[in-house]
Structure 1
């Protein structure tokens, strides 16, 4: 019992806090990708671009000079249906998470 209580007390300390800039950057990148790929009626970004609590998870490739995201996308429901992505987007967002610095790539999955 004592070990379980100790684990529960220590576990929250191990959780990584995601900055408000990182959350803003995820949203900014996802919204731009939605816009350039035909809007929400035609396109959905990969699930990692909705993982704000994880800072973008596997989609966040670099956060040293802005936020660089690389992620797949496709028609609504593509990921849930197990279908392959039809689009790959690589996008660089400003340090404050508020603006797109560059759409590095948006096209067929590489």
Structure 2
């Protein structure tokens, strides 16, 4: 009975791993950040991408800033969770977020914010920030 040497064991392990990885199709091993999933939210079809998550964060941060910072204001939970839960409308070159907020610890919203964010993140505009409207 022949005892395998360390070199032959290593060579066998490398060959086995190469066969395992090369048998997997290239598509299964690639990751694309440009994958999009259209969703319908409140009758609006929105394409969710990493850019939408970034835009949601920019909109929330803009509202936090104009309302005195995190010590004075917290946006609605929908602005912290998954981007598909964010209240937004796709307006072509930008997303428009309409959401409420309140003082930290309060469960009663007291401020409504409407923030437009360019899809490339280059421009953030607070369109409205004030009393909650109907």
TM-score, normalised to structure 2's length?
A: 0.59
Count of residues in correspondence between the two structures: 89
Task: Say whether the 8 Å CA contact 2:100–2:113 is kept in structure 1.
Answer: yes
Task: Say whether the 8 Å CA contact 2:96–2:116 is kept in structure 1.
Answer: yes
Residue aligned with 2:104, SS: coil
Task: Say whether the 8 Å CA contact 1:23–1:97 is kept in structure 2.
Answer: no
What are the within-5 Å matches in structure 2 for residues 64-79 of structure 1? 64-78=92-106
Structure 1 residue runs without a partner (length 5+): 1-15
Partner of 2:62: 32
What are the within-5 Å matches in structure 2 for residues 1-110 of structure 1? 16=37, 18-51=48-81, 53-55=82-84, 57-78=85-106, 83-100=107-124, 102-110=125-133
TM-score, normalised to structure 1's length?
A: 0.71
Structure number with higher relative contact order (C-alpha < 8 Å, ≥ 6 residues apart) = 1
Question: How many angstroms apart in 2 are the aligned matches of 1:23 and 1:58?
Answer: 9
Deviations 1:60-86 (A, max 9, x none): 1335330100000010122xxxx3211
Give structure 1 regions of 4+ aligned residues with deviation exceeding 3 angstroms: none
RMSD: 2.0
1:99 deviates by 2.9
Residue aligned with 2:93, SS: coil
Task: Say whether the 8 Å CA contact 1:34–1:45 is kept in structure 2.
Answer: yes
Task: Say whether the 8 Å CA contact 1:62–1:68 is kept in structure 2.
Answer: yes
Partner of 1:10: none
32 and 70 in structure 1: CA distance in 2 versus 1, 3 angstrom threshold: same
Structure 2 residue runs without a partner (length 5+): 1-36, 39-47
Question: How many angstroms apart in 1 are the aligned matches of 2:94 and 2:86?
Answer: 16
Larger Rg: 2
